[in-house]
C-alpha cells in the first residue's frame, strides 16, 4: 500500500495543515505498517511556474516539441504517476488570499495536461480514497462576516470530487490566526478547541483512509 501526501503550507514550523497531515499519516501507518509514503512538498519546493505553459502548448504531441516542452511533459507524467500509484491520498492545503495557493493551482494545471487525465467515463483516479486537510486563519461559516469569501474549498472540491472522482473526506480547522493576531484574542479558546478536534479527527480519518467496501447490491 502506498500513501501519497501533498503539503502546500509555505511554512515548515507551526503549520496546522502539516500537523493534521502528520497525524493522519500516523493513523494510516498504524493500519498499514508495511505501507510506503510518498511526499511532494509544493509549499517548500513549488513546481516551476513555466512548466504548465510548456506542457499545455505540447498537448496533442506533434513531435516538434522544444526541449523545455518535453521536460514539462515529463514532469506532468511524473506527477500523474504519483497519483496513479497511490492507494490513498493526503492533501494538506491552507487558504491564502481567499483562494487556493498558487502552487497548488500550478500542480493541478500541470496534472491536467497529461493524457491520462483527459475526460473519460471512469476517471483515472475514480474512487481513490483521499483526505483533504484544510486550514483557514479566519472563519467562513454561515452567519460569519466573511461567509462566501472562501474561494479555495469549493474549487478544490470541484476538482478532486467532481472532476477527478476521488472518494474525498474533509477536515478543516479554522481560526488558526487567533494565536498570533491580537484582534482575534477573544477567539483563542475556540481556536484551540477547533485544533484539538481537527487533530483527533485527522487521526481517525487517517486510520480509515481505505477504499470503501463495495456495497452489496440487492435486486
Ligand atoms: C500570505 C497569507 C495569506 C493568507 N490569507 C488568508 C485568507 O485569505 N484567509 C484566511 O482565512 N487565512 C489566510 N491566511 C492564514 C492561513 O490560512 C493560516 O495561517 C493557515 O493556518 C496556514 O496554513 P498552515 O498553518 O498549514 O501554515 C493567510 C496566510 C498567509 C501567510
24: left (phi over 0), alpha (psi -120 to 50) or beta: alpha
pLDDT tens-digit map of 19-35: 999 999 999 999 999 99
pLDDT of residue 143: 95
Mean pLDDT of 151-177: 98
Model pTM score: 0.95
Cα 176 to ligand 1 centroid, rounded to whole Å: 8
- From the CA of 97, give the closest atom in ligand 1: 8
Residue 162 DSSP code: I
Strand partners, 129: 167
pLDDT at 176: 98
Residue 126 grid coordinates: 475514480
% of the chain at pLDDT higher than 90: 91
- Residues 6 or more apart whose CB falls under 8 angstroms from that of 18 comprise 7, 9, 12, 92
Q: What pLDDT, on a 0 to 100 scale, did the predictor assign at position 217? A: 61
Pick the residue whose CA is nearest to atom 24 on ligand 1.
Answer: 15
pLDDT of residue 63: 80
CB of 135 within 6 A of ligand 1: the answer is: yes
pLDDT tens-digit profile of 62-107? 788 899 999 999 999 999 999 999 999 999 999 999 999 999 999 9
Q: Cα–Cα distances in Å, from 91 out to 45, 126, 171?
A: 15, 16, 10
Diameter over CA atoms, the chain: 61
Ligand 1 centre from 11 Cα, in Å? 10
Please name which of 37, 151, 134 lies closest in space to residue 94, comparing C-alpha atoms. 134
What is d(CA 130, CA 83) in angstroms, rounded to the nearest whole number?
A: 11
Tens digit of pLDDT for each residue in 189-211?
Answer: 999 999 999 999 999 999 999 88
Q: Is the CB of 99 under 6 A from ligand 1?
A: no
CB of 94 closer than 6 angstroms to any ligand 1 atom: yes
For ligand 1, is residue 103 a contact (CB within 6 Å)? Answer: no
- CA 89 to ligand 1 center in whole angstroms: 22
Please determine, for residue 177, whether its predicted confidence score (pLDDT) is greater than 80.
yes
Q: How far is the CA of 94 from the centre of ligand 1 (A)?
A: 6
Amino acid at each position: 500500500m502506498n500513501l501519497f501526501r501533498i503539503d502546500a503550507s509555505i511554512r515548515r514550523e507551526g503549520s496546522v495543515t502539516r500537523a493534521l497531515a502528520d497525524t493522519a499519516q500516523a493513523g494510516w501507518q498504524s493500519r498499514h505498517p508495511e505501507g510506503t509514503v510518498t511526499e511532494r512538498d509544493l509549499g517548500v519546493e513549488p513546481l516551476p511556474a513555466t512548466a504548465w505553459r510548456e506542457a499545455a502548448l505540447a498537448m496533442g504531441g506533434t513531435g516538434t516539441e522544444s526541449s523545455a516542452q518535453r521536460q514539462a511533459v515529463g514532469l506532468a507524467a511524473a506527477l500523474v504517476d504519483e497519483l496513479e500509484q497511490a492507494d490513498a491520498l493526503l492533501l494538506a492545503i491552507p487558504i491564502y488570499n481567499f483562494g487556493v495557493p498558487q502552487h497548488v493551482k500550478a500542480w493541478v494545471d500541470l496534472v491536467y495536461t497529461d493524457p491520462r487525465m483527459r475526460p473519460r467515463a471512469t476517471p483515472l483516479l475514480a474512487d481513490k480514497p483521499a483526505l483533504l486537510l484544510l486550514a483557514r486563519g479566519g472563519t467562513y461559516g454561515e452567519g460569519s462576516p466573511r461567509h462566501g469569501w472562501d474561494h479555495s474549498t469549493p474549487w478544490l472540491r470541484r476538482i478532486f470530487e467532481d472532476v477527478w472522482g476521488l472518494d474525498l473526506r474533509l477536515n478543516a480547522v479554522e481560526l488558526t490566526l487567533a494565536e498570533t493576531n491580537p484582534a482575534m484574542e477573544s477567539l483563542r479558546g475556540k481556536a484551540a478547541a477547533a485544533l484539538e478536534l481537527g487533530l483527533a479527527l485527522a487521526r481517525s480519518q487517517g486510520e480509515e483512509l481505505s477504499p470503501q467496501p463495495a456495497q452489496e447490491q440487492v435486486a
